[in-house]
Amino acid sequence: MQVSVLASGSKGNCTFIDMEGSRLLVDAGISARRIKQELGHIGYSIEELDGVFITHEHSDHIKGLATLTKKYGVPVYSRPETFRAMSCYREIPQSCINPIIDRVRLKKVTVKAFGIPHDAADPVGYSIMGSVKCVVATDMGFVDSSLRRELEAARVMVLEANHDVDMLKNGEYPWPLKQRILSNRGHLSNMDTAWTLVHLKQKPQKVLLAHLSEANNLPELALSTVGQILNQQGVNNIELIITAQDRCVSVDF
């Protein structure tokens, strides 16, 4: 079983998961051409995909979706409101559209959608559950107790670590954009991510830190901030892995 973050960041997000014979994407925020290329590098093809699950309608999560569906006929799953809010909705073949509210079964795997706080129509994260559980959860303004319950017991987690608060506050973004990112419908900071992991009762073995801001974060800063807080709280058994905008990062589980 494998999780491969093909790309992660403000320019495009796409994660591939191979679990017990089900092969799926979470988001398609890079071109279909690059998705095909990145899958080829890890030994897979678009034609093998059982579906693509969209978290929300922002362009960095759906950029390649129209081509992916028109050219390859890949089934697409998302909340009804998200479909209606997509800029490319009319370009997607109706035969590919599969609205979901709660969960769907793909072969031996169940994919569950759960609500997250973000400034989109009806944003979700996804739990992919077979003999083990994998969670993809990015673009969240905060994590409360109900959301933590959705994250519990994942063996592998793709979790947002978007920004360093000081870098964001002292950076060049206009103040309204800073306010949006810092709001409870924005993005998680490195510290938010660390404390989310600390408060989980059943912690993951591996966490891929995702959606890092190129302007307001650094890979080494995200790793050190999250790692230091975990160590200070006596959490020493989580492997932290940094994802990237321009290259694929894979882990087996």
Write the CATH number for 16. 3.60.15.10
What pLDDT shows up at residue 43?
A: 97
46 within 8 A of 64, measured Cβ to Cβ = no
Number of domains into which the chain is organized: 1
Q: What CA–CA distance (Å, rounded) separates 12 from 29?
A: 4
Per-residue pLDDT of the chain (253 residues; tens, 9 = 90+): 999 999 999 999 999 999 999 999 999 999 999 999 999 999 999 999 999 999 999 999 999 999 999 999 999 999 999 999 999 999 999 999 999 999 999 999 999 999 999 999 999 999 999 999 999 999 999 999 999 999 999 999 999 999 999 999 999 999 999 999 999 999 999 999 999 999 999 999 999 999 999 999 999 999 999 999 999 999 999 999 999 999 999 999 8
What pLDDT shows up at residue 65?
A: 98
Burial category of 98 from C-beta neighbours within 10 Å (exposed 0-12, middle 13-18, buried 19 and up): middle
- Residue 79 lies in domain: 2-252
Q: Could you tell me which of 124, 141, 121, 123 has the C-alpha nearest to residue 181?
A: 141
What pLDDT shows up at residue 247?
A: 96
What pLDDT shows up at residue 128?
A: 98
What pLDDT shows up at residue 33?
A: 98
- pTM of the full predicted structure? 0.97
